[in-house]
Amino acid sequence: MSKPMFAAGRTLLILLACCSLFFWVGCTEIPEPATPSYKTKLAADETSSKAFGEQFPLHYQSYLENRDDTRMTEYAGSVPHDKHDGVNPLPKGYKHAQPYLKNLWLGYPFSYEYKRARGHVWAVTDILHIDRIDNYSEEAKLPATCWNCKTNKLPEFYKTHGDDFWSMEFHEFRTKVDVEDNAIGCTLCHDPTDMSLRITSVPLNEALLGMGIKWQEATRNEMRALVCAQCHVEYYFTDKKFGPAAKPVFPWGKGRSPEEMYEYYKDFGPTTREGFEGNFVDWTHPVSDTPMLKAQHPEYEIWHDGPHGAAGVSCADCHMPYIRVDGKKKISSHHWTSPLKSIERSCLQCHSDKQPQYLTERVIYTQERTWEQLLVAQEKSVRAHEAVRLAREQKENRNPNYDALMIEARENIRKGQWLWDIISAENSAGFHNPAKALDTLAKSQQCSDKAVSLALAATNYQIGPMLEGDIKEIVPPIMEHSRKLQQSREHLDSHTWLGYLPLLPEAEKVWDGQNKLR
């Protein structure tokens, strides 16, 4: 009789002890520091960064530093240059280029022009001049969606047009933005009334809701990375079969690793092509006739399970370190650039036992190894396209399984190039997640090698001798290519791969920046 009583009493005691412990911990837990709260005189829908600047002149001054920074680091920096050009000096090219970018994106606007990023204040200027947007035509050939990550006017555009905005003509908004005042700005990350951090990006909000996360409930530390995840992520433009046409969506439904995003892209497309039914496809590579994916800058996804992301070190910790301005005041730097330019402030707050020189060397140690494998992956991808091109041209004595082998070869080209591109487009050259970067590049190389084997088998190995040797001799890098050049037959005849492109009709520029020329 007494035994169970005793047991019950003990359980109660333990329970009580647990509760009080919980209560005690709960009471003394230090709340996370909040973003300082202000009561501003700004309207809730203020967009102008200058207007914010009048109330926060020190932050505005720091923000304007994004304009004049032309410092480079070993693998990154702030001078825009052609990322495939490792021959010419700045501002045309820079060391550590990937020479095959134009080959790998052939047939897609990225092959016309692809430059290194610079500071946020340049975003509008740069998109107005990039050759990816068709400035030779009344139709931009890219939707208004592109404005999503360039301008602080976006919340206003979206309020006016809703989900119809995305598929509107890009050119229609060219003159509705102020080049200086409407680049990426304060209102995109801050509530104008109290300066608390907020998410204004429609696709990020929806991607988070899809994972059961409300950003309004995120911690301050999470917000210090989520504000960047509004743009520094992989995304795609929805096909109208699956939602509002050209709406930006983050492919996170199966997870955020490169392979999980690849699996995601097996759906959400209207493709009817055999072997790729239902796949999402950005464009078809004309040389190998492969339905391709183009990766965008996935800094957030790659960072999130790397050594720093997993440990809760946010983007702002390194890219927005505290600086002392005006003699004494401490503010978060709003000059977003390479942290290697500010090791003392960006890194030593945590790695106080290390020397700046040591930390720089550790970063470069990772980057060198990543870059070496990136170049190998890039070349293997080129060889895979070439193998399938040769196999397409091989009309005699094909393997009885030719069609099935070619589908599988193309599937491996698609996956191999995706895995290369994810790390190529990620702007830290591996630093944000060294193990993931090398793992992804290894898998890319395996896929591309497999594509070559399958193409060889499809032709009963007849194309073997044509694939032997240095890839630079078999397929030279395409160094010059643009919308204007594609209007010239001579240009298309200058490289075997360019011969697979259609000749564009002769046309003169319609747009130069914000000036309509005709």
Residue bearing tokens 């830290």: 428
The interface mask with ligand HEC, positions 201-220, x = CB under 6 A, is -------------------x
Instruction: Report how far residue 218's alpha carbon sits from residue 240's, in angstroms, rounded to the nearest whole number.
Output: 32
The residue among 308 and 392 lying less far from ligand HEC, judged by its C-beta, is: 308
- Residue 382 Cβ, how far from ligand HEC at the closest point, in Å? 25
Q: Kindly state the tokens that stand for 169.
A: 């003509």
* 119 scored as a contact of ligand HEC (CB under 6 A): yes
Q: Judged by CB under 6 A, which of 48, 59, 412, 498 binds ligand HEC?
A: 59
Question: Is 398 one of the binding residues for ligand HEC (CB under 6 A)?
Answer: no
Query: Closest distance between ligand HEC and the C-beta of residue 208, in Å?
Result: 14
| Of 392, 409, 378, nearest in space to 471 by CA | 378
Which of these, 427, 418, 423, 413, lies nearest to 372 by C-alpha position? Answer: 423
* 383 touches ligand HEC by CB under 6 A: no
Please give the Cα distance from 119 to 122 (Å, whole number). Answer: 6
* Interface pick for ligand HEC out of 129, 351, 398, 509 (rule CB under 6 A): 351
Say which residues have a Cβ less than 8 Å from residue 350's Cβ, sequence separation at least 6: 313, 317
- Out of 48, 60, 170, 463, the only residue in the binding site for ligand HEC (CB under 6 A) is 60
**Which letter, b or e, does each residue of 307-319 get, where b requires 16 or more Cβ atoms within 10 Å of its Cβ?**
ebbeeebbbbbbb
- Of 99-107, 169-177, 318-326, 415-423, which segment contacts ligand HEC by CB under 6 A? 318-326
∠ CA 277-134-386, nearest 5°, is 50
Q: Shortest distance, CB of residue 165 to ligand HEC, whole angstroms?
A: 15
How far apart are CB 148 and ligand HEC at their closest, in Å? Answer: 7
Applying the rule CB under 6 A, the residues between 428 and 447 that interact with ligand HEC are 428-429, 431-432, 434
Choose which of 129, 254, 273, 362 interacts with ligand HEC (CB under 6 A): 362
Q: Which of 188, 146, 111 is nearest to 486 (CA)?
A: 111
For the stretch 352-379, what's the b/e string if a residue is b when 16 or more beta carbons lie within 10 angstroms of its beta carbon? eeeeeeebeeebbebbebbbebbbbbbb
- Considering only CA atoms, which of 453, 497, 463 is closest in space to residue 391? 463
Contact status: 117 vs ligand HEC (CB under 6 A): yes
Q: Does 317 bind ligand HEC (CB under 6 A)?
A: yes
Q: Is 319 in the site for ligand HEC (CB under 6 A)?
A: yes
Q: Binding of ligand HEC at residue 423 (CB under 6 A)?
A: no
Does residue number 49 form part of the binding site for ligand HEC (CB under 6 A)? yes
Under rule CB under 6 A, residue 155 binds ligand HEC? no
CB-CB contact of 253 with 210 (8 Å): yes
CB of 255 to ligand HEC, least distance (A): 16
Contact region with ligand HEC (CB under 6 A), list: 100-108, 189-197, 247-255, 510-518: 189-197
Residues 226-285 interacting with ligand HEC (rule: CB under 6 A):
227-228, 230-232
Query: Quick one: 47 or 399, whose CB is closer to ligand HEC?
Result: 47
d(CA 111, CA 285): 11
The least distance separating ligand HEC from the CB of residue 55, rounded to whole angstroms, comes to: 7
Residue 353 beta carbon to ligand HEC: minimum distance, rounded to whole angstroms = 10
- 8 A C-beta contact, residue 408 and residue 400: no
Q: Tokens 């070439």 identify what position?
A: 386
> How far lies 144's CA from each of 179, 295, 484, in Å?
16, 19, 23
Closest to ligand HEC by CB, 228 vs 455, is: 228
Mark 26-45 with x for binding to ligand HEC (rule: CB under 6 A) and - for no binding. Answer: ---------xx---------
